Structure 1
Amino acid sequence: MPDLVRREDFDGWVQLTLNRPDKLNSLNVAMFEQLRQHCLALAGETGIGCVVLRGAGQCFSAGHDLGGIAEGETPPSRGWHSETLRMLEKLPIPVVAAVHGHCYTGALEVALAADFIIASETARFGDTHAKFALTPVWGMSARLPRRVGIATAKRLMFTAQMFGAAEAVRIGLAEYLIEEAEFETEIARLAGQIAAQSHFSHAANKRLLDRSDAQPMDAALQREWMDGEGRGPDMHERIAAFQTKSS
C-alpha cells in the first residue's frame, strides 16, 4: 500500500504528510488507518518534541472523500474516525497543523485535533456539512466552538461559508498567517523551537490543559497544583545550561 500518510523525521521533530495529492488529499478509511498507526507509534516513542501535520501538493486536504461516502465506505467500527483523531489529539507531544490551500469539513476536523493551526496565506477553510445534508461525526461540534466560540461556530456551520487565512486568524481558528514563500521555513523554525523545550513539560502540560478544558476556574486551579507533575528529569540540566549561557 502506498504511503497515504508519509512520515519524515527531523532533528527532534516529525512531519506527517497527508499524501493523496492527485485527490487533493481527500480523506478515506485507508488514510485514517495509516494516520492511526503513526499515532500508535509516536505515542510509544521518546525523543520527539513536536509533530507537524500537513498536506502534500496543492493543499492540506479538500476533506472527506465524497466518492467514498457515496459508495458507502465502512470504517472498522462506529466512531472509529473520531477515536483516531482523539488519539492524535492526546499524543504526549505538541501537534501543529500547518495548513495551505483547501481545508474543508473533514479536513478541518482533522486540523482541529492538532494543538493549534498555522496558516499559509493560501489557506482556505470551511465547514460544508450542511451543504451536503450531513452532520459532523469526527469532532467538529466539540472542537470548533472550543476554538472560536459557540456563536462563531454556529455561523460557520450554518452558512457553510469559505474563508481565508486572515479571517481564520481573526476568529482564533488559526494562530497566525505565514506568507507562502516563508511557509516551509516557518514550519521548520516553529517545530524546532517547540522540540527544543522540555519534552517532559510538553507531555505534562498537555495533560493539564486537557483535564482543565471547560472546567470551572477553581477546579482547574486545584487540578493544576494537585495533579501537576512538577519538575522533570531534565530540569537541573536545563537550568545549568541557562546559567552557563547567561554568565
Structure 2
Amino acid sequence: MADLVLRRDVGSVAVLTLNRPDKLNALSPALFEELAAHLDAIEETTPGGVVLAGAGRSFCAGADVEALQAGVVTDDPEFRSRTMQRLGELPCPVIAAVQGHCYTGGLELALTADIIVAADDARFRDTHSRFGILPRWGLSARLPRRIGLAAAKRMAFIGDEVPAAEALRIGLCDEIVPAARLQEAALELAARIAANARTSAGIKRLYARSLELSLAEALENERGSSRPGGGPGAAG
C-alpha cells in the first residue's frame, strides 16, 4: 500500500505531502499515524522549515467520513487532536501550500501552519455546523486568532466556501499564487525562511508566548529573551 504521507527534503526544508489524491487527501486514522511518525523524526532533527502539501487537485477535504461511518477509530480519542497540536508547535516554521478543497479538518490542518500560501483555485470551508458537530482538532482556537472572532463565527455558522481572494482579504491565507506555481512558491518561501533558521525558532516561540500574556508581560518577555544568554524567545 502506498504511503499516506510522503516526505522529501529539499535543502534544509522538509516537505510533507498528504498522499490520498483519490480521496481528496481525507484524513483517516492511518494517515494520522503516518503524520505523527513524520513529526517524531522532524522533532529529532528540526529542519529549517516544513512545507505541508496535498497530492492531486486538493489540499485536504477534511476527515475521512467513510472511515468514521465504518467505525474506524484510534485507540486514543485525543490522538488526532494532539497530532495537530504537535504540528503547530514544531520549533521550525511551517508553511501550508493549499490548493482546491481545504475543508473542515483540512482547514484545521492548514491552520497549524505559520504561513498559508494558497493557489488561486483554493477554497476554504468549515462544515462542522452542517454535520451537527463541534470542532475537535483546534479550529475554535486557531481560526479566531487568525481572522478575528466575528469572521470565524461567520464561517462556522454559515458553512459557505471562502474562495482564495476572500481568504486573502480576511487574513485566512497570506499569499495567492497561480495553481501551477504553488509548490514552487511555497518552497521558495520556505528556503528564504530557512536561511534565517538560527532566529526563526526563537521568533516563533516569542510570538506564540505573547498571545498568552498581557501587553506588559509580553514586553517583559521580549526584553528577557533578548538579554545576553536569553537567546531569541528563550524567556517563558
**TM score, norm. by length of structure 1:** 0.89
Percent identical among aligned pairs is 47
1:225 aligned residue (210, 214, 223): 223
- The residue aligned with 1:182 is 181
**2:23 and 2:14 mapped to 1: Cα distance?**
24
Matches within 5 A, 1:129-208: 129-197=128-196, 199-208=197-206
Q: Are the counterparts in 1 of residues 61 and 102 from structure 2 also a CA contact under 8 Å?
A: yes
- The residue aligned with 1:41 is 41
3-state SS of paired residue (1:51): strand
3-state SS of paired residue (1:76): coil
Matches within 5 A, 1:46-57: 46=46, 48-57=47-56
Offset, 1:139:
0.4
3-state SS of paired residue (1:44): helix
* Residue identity matched to 2:41: A
Matches within 5 A, 1:29-178: 29-46=29-46, 48-178=47-177
3-state SS of paired residue (2:76): coil
- The residue aligned with 2:15 is 15
**1:25 and 1:184 mapped to 2: Cα distance?**
16
Q: 220-229 or 167-176: which moved more?
A: 220-229
Offset, 1:8:
0.5
2:207 aligned residue (197, 206, 209): 209
**2:54 and 2:179 mapped to 1: Cα distance?**
14
* Residue identity matched to 2:129: A
3-state SS of paired residue (2:198): helix
The count of aligned residue pairs is: 230
3-state SS of paired residue (1:39): helix
**TM score, norm. by length of structure 2:** 0.93
Q: 101-110 or 177-186: which moved more?
A: 177-186
Gaps of 5+ in 2: none
* Residue identity matched to 1:23: K
**1:76 and 1:96 mapped to 2: Cα distance?**
30
4+ residue runs over 3 A deviation = none
* Residue identity matched to 1:14: A
**1:204 and 1:44 mapped to 2: Cα distance?**
17
* Residue identity matched to 1:15: V
* Residue identity matched to 1:230: G
Q: Are the counterparts in 1 of residues 225 and 232 from structure 2 also a CA contact under 8 Å?
A: no
Quick one: structure 1 residues 214 and 166, their matched pair in 2 at CA, closer, same or farther if it must change by over 3 Å?
farther
* Residue identity matched to 1:193: R
Greater Rg by CA: 1
Offset, 1:217:
1.0
Offset, 1:214:
4.5
* Residue identity matched to 2:231: G
Gaps of 5+ in 1: 233-247
